[in-house]
Structure 1
Amino acid sequence: MTADMIAPEWMHTPITAAQYDSWSPEQCRGIEIVDGMVVVSPSASKRHNRLARFLANALDAAASPEWNADTDFDVRLQDVPLTNRRPDVVVYRADTIDITPTRPEHVLLVVEVVSPGSETTDRIVKMEQYAKAGISFYWRVEQTANGVPLVYTYVLDPAAGLYRDSDVFTDIVKTAVPFPLEISLSSI
């Protein structure tokens, strides 16, 4: 059995930004591109999706009119080799709503909800990639056994190109950055 019989060609050959941009939305759903290689993401759980939507709605409501919060679209971290990530929640400049691809300079905050199988990627890999791309804020949401998530917040140190620990929230997220926000995690 050869690799061609196991996976389509595009899964084991690097792709370019131009190739990816020619794909349909259906072809791009459920994947990310890392260093030109397709990475297939398993479908998220209902709890994961609900948590992401809840946070996106709360962030969108709290943000000034200059910012939107949404889910389920790519952020193009680099063109060569192509790296597209699909954060669970993105807070982006409202005036870029019709610009594709969304680039790091359009983004204020990304949120990743950690699920079984994404622990290392969300805790280490994506955190480093988002920092290197210059995205100012990163939130990592850990699901817990009691159902009330923990929210770890990070702020970019641009001189070091790394995120610095900020706050960890349980039950209530109350922060002034990147804008004032207070939400109850237990209501999810």
Structure 2
Amino acid sequence: MHTQIAAEQYDSWSTEQCAGIEVVDGMVVATPSPSIRHNRLARLLANGLELAAGPDWNADTGFDVRLQDVPLTNRRPDVVVYRADTIDVSPTRPEHVLLVVEVVSPGSETTDRIVKADQYAKAGIAFYWRVEQAATGIPLVYTYVLDPASSSYRDGEVFTGTVKAAVPFLVEIDLGTL
């Protein structure tokens, strides 16, 4: 029988117990290990975003964002841009986060394109980027901006290879040489 876990229970688990999972509506969901290409894309994006964001923001990979406590929903975006002054605050919450990035992998298409976008928007995260790994090998980056009135994202710009975004801050990241 499947049972929901509470935030307190999850918070008592070790780092090893939390690795490779997300929690959605209190239910543990296994997440497959990402490919090397996936990890490299995430790292390149995090590095570029960190450089462009300035001292008030950090960009990192591979940690939980607590979208809600009841029922517990923890997502682990591929890249998170968050307020630098919250680096030691745990758990990271949506109000700490400016931008999340998901790199789509085989098997995560619907979750990354629809489910996570909806959850991040409803949590109030201002910007969402989705990276599609195209058959050409050159990534496509879809950007979205939160419409607070509807708690949903509206389409932003789409970039092929090189991201040249003006929001949430000026950033240029070449992903075409992956």
Q: Answer whether TM exceeds 0.5 for this pair.
A: yes
Matched, 1:144 2:134: yes
1:164 is matched with which residue: 138, 148, 154? 154
Shift, 1:184, TM fit? 1.4
Matched, 1:93 2:83: yes
TM-score (norm 2): 0.99
2:98 is matched with which residue: 108, 119, 126? 108
Shift, 1:43, TM fit? 0.5
Counterpart of 2:10 in structure 1 is 20
RMSD: 0.7
**Partner amino acid for 2:73?**
T
2:41 is matched with which residue: 47, 51, 72? 51
Shift, 1:84, TM fit? 0.1
Shift, 1:42, TM fit? 0.7
What are the residue-to-residue correspondences of 1:166-185 with 2, within 5 Å?
Answer: 166-185=156-175
Greater than 3 Å deviation, 4+ residue runs: none
* Structure 2: unaligned runs, 5 residues or longer: none
Counterpart of 1:126 in structure 2 is 116
Secondary structure (helix, strand or coil) at the match of 2:176 reads helix
**Partner amino acid for 1:19?**
Q
- Report percent identity of matched pairs: 78
Residues 118-154 of structure 1 deviation map (CA, whole Å, 9 limit, x = unaligned): 0000000000000000000000000011111000000
Bigger Rg, structure 1 or 2: 1
TM-score (norm 1): 0.93
Aligned residues: 178
Rounded to whole Å, the distance in 2 between the matches of 1:149 and 1:171 is 6
Counterpart of 2:52 in structure 1 is 62
